[in-house]
Amino acid sequence: MSSFDSSEDRLTDKSDWDWRYGSQAAQDTPARSRLPEKYFGSYSEIRFWSLLGKHVAPQPGESVLEIGCAPGRVLKSFATRFGCIPHGVEFSKPGFDLTCENFQRWGYPAENVIHADLFDSTFQASVAGKFDIVISGGFIEHFTDCRSVIAAHLAPLRPGGALIVTIPNYRGLNYWLGQRTLPDLLPLHNFDIMNIAGFRDLFPPAQVETRWSGYFGGFDFGMFDTGAPGRLPVIGRGIQTMLNFGFRMVPPPELSSTSPYLLFTGRKISG
């Protein structure tokens, strides 16, 4: 058994992800508003990349590994924004296949996508100390023992490499809305780490130097949008479009009850 094994700590299983990426909802390109993206596109996304540019500053030619990489859009952004070399590991076979198809279409080597369990000892040995950047988004909150998951994130990083972790914040107003829109999905999440103190405590200071951590995104109805048809999702998307514009004009406060995400960035300490 691997020292990173977390099979008993998972709040999801492979079928949850196979369904997600094997369904019609698994699109390689997210739905876009007809309004100009520059003014009405996702504020959370703008804020995320701004924070990474400031606190991580990825460089051209750096290798980036995304854990739970399907469908590959984040890796594509690293390549187009910063000139990084994209790599990913994906647990779900449909998610792996979808990411490989997207890589081929975008002109990236499909062999840079690996179908494996992050905690598999063979995979961990093959990537140990190999990457300049390791990132995951919406991954660690699906485990109860998140510290072992962070250890498995740090292992593929070279000394001095950048660690980037984001999770959703289903607390406060977000929890209330989630109960009404995602009642079957909320139990798949670890709520104990969805506060800034609990989140920061996951990253051992002896192993990783914090560069920035906190809430970001203002507020985002996208957290509750599964892509399903209906009046309520359409209304939510319309409201969020207007909020995206407003947040660009007047940046919102980042609050534990309304901010959609938490972000950690840091550097792996040598030794």
Tokens of 256: 């534990």
For residue 7, pLDDT over 80 is answered with no
Going along the chain from its start, the domains and CATH numbers come out as: 7-268 (3.40.50.150)
pLDDT for the residue numbered 17: 82
Distance (Å, whole) CA 72 – CA 41: 19
User: What integer pLDDT is reported at residue 2 of this predicted model?
Assistant: 42
Q: Which pTM value belongs to this model? A: 0.93
* Residues in Cβ contact with 249 at an 8 Å cutoff, skipping those fewer than 6 apart: none
Q: What is the pLDDT of residue 164?
A: 98
Residue 47 contacts residue 166 (beta carbons within 8 Å): no
Whether 32 has a pLDDT exceeding 70, the answer reads no
Among the listed ranges 50-64, 110-124, 225-239, which one has the minimum average pLDDT value?
225-239
pLDDT of residue 1: 36
pLDDT of residue 20: 78
Q: Confidence class of residue 6 from pLDDT cuts 50, 70 and 90?
A: low
Cα(231)–Cα(253) distance, integer angstroms: 29
Among 150, 145, 148, which residue's Cα sits nearest to residue 3?
148
pLDDT of residue 225: 83
In this prediction, residue 271 carries a pLDDT of 66
pLDDT, position 74: 97
Separation of alpha carbons 149 and 18, rounded Å: 21
Q: Which residue has the higher pLDDT, 269 or 231?
A: 269
Summarize the confidence of residues 177-192 as an average pLDDT: 93
Between residues 17 and 126, which one has the greater pLDDT? Answer: 126
- Concatenating the DSSP letter of every residue in the chain gives --TT--GGGBSS-HHHHHHHHHSTT--SS----SS-HHHHS-HHHHHHHHHHHHHT---TT-EEEEES-TT-HHHHHHHHHH--EEEEEESSHHHHHHHHHHHHHHT--GGGEEES-TT-HHHHHHHTT-EEEEEEES-GGGBS-HHHHHHHHHTTEEEEEEEEEEEE---THHHHHHHHH-TTTGGGS-GGGSSHHHHHTTS-TTTEEEEEEEEESS--GGGG--S--SHHHHHHHHHHHHHHHHHHHSPPP--TTT--EEEEEEEEPP-
User: Can you give the pLDDT at residue 163?
Assistant: 98
Give residue 38's Cα distance to chain centre.
Answer: 22
